[in-house]
Amino acid sequence: MIEYFDLLSEGEQADLTEIIQLFYRQTFLLEHKYDKKTERYQYSKEYRTALKHKEFLKEYFGIAGIELSENVHMGILYIQGETLWGEKLPRLATIYMLVLKLLYDEQMEEASSSMQIVTTLGAVNARAGSFHVLRSMPSPTEMRRAVAFLKKYQVIEPMDVLEELNEDTRMIIYPSVNVVLMGDDIRELLKTFDEEEERGEEAAIQSTIEDLSE
């Protein structure tokens, strides 16, 4: 394995190191990402690099008991394992993540061949409100922070200017939401989220995240 890495050029070694760090940081790579300038999906350089060194990466992560998988249909490479610990999600970002998964699944059922799933911030807040998991409407600052957090980890991509965030702000939901929340009963989690708050906000968030990891 080390020999494989040593035989690469310095540039390829740097690219591969960056890919490994990116996997540990967010656990997945998207094949295509939305580009605001062209208003089109662009093929990801990181994804291409990961595919090129896929067998090496499988062996590398396998040593730590981490599995590297590919979902060709969704266009995503992801890692899974008990030793992975992601960044703790803020409360509002957690709620948005659960709602985004619901909206993604609903739109995918109606979609034909398009993988571009678009929603609005207003639709996300409305759905969260229907589950009574928002004490009140979040402030613009809180919403902006939650959206920026989810954008940072490539769960969504705002199509409009983030500084002008409002109920009509459009967002693309990336298929990576399936990796974060794969195979869970999201509606049940949302229904119990408010009940868990009786045990304290931190406990509620931690319990929700543990459920998502199972």
The tokens describing 7, both together, are 């035989």
Looking at residue 87, the DSSP 8-state letter turns out to be: P
Please compute the mean of the pLDDT values over residues 75-100 and round it to a whole number. 81
The tokens describing 56, both together, are 């090496």
Rg (CA), the chain: 18
Which sequence spans correspond to the domains of the chain? 2-80, 91-213
pLDDT at 129 over 60: yes
Pairing type for strands 156-158 and 117-120 reads unpaired
Give the pLDDT band (50/70/90) at residue 186: low
Name the amino acid, one letter, at 70: E
pLDDT at 69 over 50: yes
Residues in the chain: 214
Name the amino acid, one letter, at 13: Q
Please name which of 200, 192, 198 lies closest in space to residue 211, comparing C-alpha atoms. 192
